[in-house]
Amino acid sequence: MSTNRTIEQLQSTDRSTVFHPSTHASDHTHGKVPVNIIQSGNGIYIRNQDGTEFLDGFAGLYCVNVGYGRTEIADAIYEQAKKLAYYHTYVGHSNEAIIELSQRIIDWAPDGMRKVYYGLSGSDANETQIKLVRYYQNILGNKAKKKIISRDRGYHGSSIAAGSLTGLNLFHQAFDLPIDGILHTMAPHHYWNAEAGMSEKEFSQYCADELEKMILAEGPETVGAFIGEPVMGTGGLIPPPEGYWDAVQKVLNKYDVL
C-alpha cells in the first residue's frame, strides 16, 4: 500500500492514530519519541523513510526468518487468498492447504510429535500451551498441578497469561502481572549469574538445583510445567550454558513436570 502523503504527514497521522506497544503513549503523541517508518525490506535489510538501510538483526521480532521481499512467498499467498483466504478448523473443518502443511511439518518434526495446532502469534501459541497444560493435568486428575515455571528475562508474549510467562518487568508494570500460578526461576546467563570460577557445567547444575528448590518450595503436586526458550532472545540473546537442558530435564522428569 502506498499513499501520496509526505513523510511528515504520515508521522503526524501515526502520532494521532496508532497505539504502539512498549512505547510511552504521551511521549509518542507529543513528539518526544521518534516515528521511524519502515518503507520496505529485501532479504536481511530494511529501509526507512529517509532511505537509510539497516541490517535487521532482530528479523522483525525474531519471526522474519526467511527474509523480506520473497516474491515466491507473496505469490503463493496471493494464489491461496484468491482460492480460500480463511476458514476455521473447529468441529472437524479443514482445507487442503492446512492438511498439506501439517503433513510437511510432521515429516520434519522430531519423533513423538504427531499433530499440529495452529495459532495466530507467539502470544496466542503460548496461551494455548497454558490451556494444554491445564487440560492434560485435568485429564490425569491432577487438579492442583497447574503452576508453570518460566525464567527471568525470558520472553513468551505480551498478552495477560503469556505476558506473565515473560520474565521482563517492562511487560509486567502497570498490568498487575504476573498472574497467580506463574513463577520465574533464574536466567541461565553464565556471565551475569555464575559465581566466580564456576564452569558452565557447574553453573548449569546450579540453575537446575535452583529450579528443584522452587518446585519443592511450591510443592511438586502443584507444578505442572516449565517453559523456556532454547536460546533466550529478547532477554539478551542468551545461549544455554553447557549441560543446561540435560540438567533441567532431569529435574522435570523427577517431579513429573512437563
Residue ranges per domain, the chain? 7-62, 71-108, 122-254
pLDDT band per the 50, 70, 90 thresholds, residue 11:
very high
Q: What's the CATH fold of domain 122-254?
A: Aspartate Aminotransferase; domain 2 (3.40.640)
The 8-class DSSP code of residue 224 comes to E
Q: Which long-range contacts (CB under 8 A, 24 or more apart) does 22-31 make?
A: 22/158, 22/170
| Residue 1 pLDDT exceeds 90 | no
Cross-sheet strand order for the sheet of 182-185: 182-185, 147-151, 223-226
When pLDDT is averaged across residues 236-252 and rounded to a whole number, the result is 97
Cα 86 off chain centre by: 24
CA 117/CA 140 separation, integer angstroms: 21
| Residue 148 pLDDT exceeds 80 | yes
- Its pTM stands at 0.89
**Whole-number pLDDT of residue 4:** 77
Query: Tell me: the pLDDT tens digits for 188-201?
Result: 999 999 999 999 99
Q: Where are the alpha helices (DSSP H) in 96-165?
A: 96-108, 122-139, 160-165
Query: Tell me: the pLDDT tens digits for 101-122?
Result: 999 999 999 999 999 999 999 9
- Cβ atoms < 10 Å from Cβ of 156: 29
